[in-house]
Amino acid sequence: MSRDLAKKIGIWFLAFFLFATHIFIRTVAHADEGTAWNLMVSRTGDCRINFPSRPQMVQQSLKMTEEGLRLNYDVYLAPFEDKGVCLLLIAQYPLPIAPGNELAGLEGLLNGIIGHNADNKLSFAKVIDLKGIPAVDFLVQNGTNYFRGLAFMSGNKLYLIAMEGKKGSLDEKVFGRFSNSFQLHKQEK
């Protein structure tokens, strides 16, 4: 898959998932940090992560080409107290990303998040090594909200581990607990 197509796809599916997240935030109860977190295994069984409460899942499939190639993704969402919502997005591209284009896809995702709202500002973004996989660790904020994330690609899948909520309520300890609980069951090539 080309670099430009990877960026465009990242931006398109991001818009839908952000819309779904905002709806979810308004309609769910809040979790308590003191309670036991809930282990969630992805629908496809390729990863697992602990959420602060039982997550809800939203599935979407978007047609990408006239030939019928589709981008499929699952978004798992769970509230955390009044601080926001924890989410895991797993997007499966129809074709593997060409080696070396992974960071371009992650850049497209990050640009989509920033471009979602004209007031969004990138507070920081850094490329890190996540168990041998290049990942982007970032924080985007605007006047009222934050979006804290960690994104990486493995095989033909993009993974986004994130928290979103009201600015000033970001709890890095909770984000660390959430993101560090993520485990990829198998490394895809």
Chain center to CA of 140: 13
Sheet holding 56-63, edge to edge: 56-63, 70-80, 84-92, 157-166, 145-154, 133-141, 121-130
List the CATH code of the domain at 3-184: 3.40.1000.10
pLDDT at 96: 80
CA–CA separation, 37 vs 52, rounded Å? 5
Q: Is 48 within 8 Å of 183 (Cβ atoms)? A: yes
Q: How confident is the model at residue 189 (pLDDT cuts 50, 70, 90)?
A: very low
* pTM (predicted TM-score): 0.81
pLDDT at 54: 92
Q: What is the pLDDT of residues 128-168, one digit of tens each?
A: 998 888 999 999 999 999 999 999 999 889 999 999 999 99
CA–CA separation, 80 vs 95, rounded Å? 35
pLDDT at 27: 42
Question: What is the Rg, in whole angstroms, of the alpha carbon atoms belonging to the chain?
Answer: 16
Q: Which of 64, 53, 135, 51 is nearest to 93 (CA)?
A: 64
Q: What is the pLDDT of residues 173-187, one digit of tens each?
A: 999 999 999 999 865
Q: What is the pLDDT of residues 64-119, one digit of tens each?
A: 888 888 889 999 999 988 778 999 999 998 888 888 888 888 998 899 999 988 99
pLDDT at 30: 43
Chain center to CA of 91: 9
CA–CA separation, 180 vs 177, rounded Å? 5
CA–CA separation, 108 vs 5, rounded Å? 9
SS3 for 7?
Answer: helix
pLDDT at 139: 97
Q: What is the pLDDT of residues 16-61, one digit of tens each?
A: 455 455 544 444 444 444 568 999 999 999 999 999 999 999 999 8
CA–CA separation, 71 vs 46, rounded Å? 17
pLDDT at 83: 77
Asked if residue 13 has pLDDT above 80, the reply is no
What HEC string does 88-132 produce? EEEEECCCCCCCCCHHHHHHHHHHHHHHCCCCCEEEEEEEEEECC
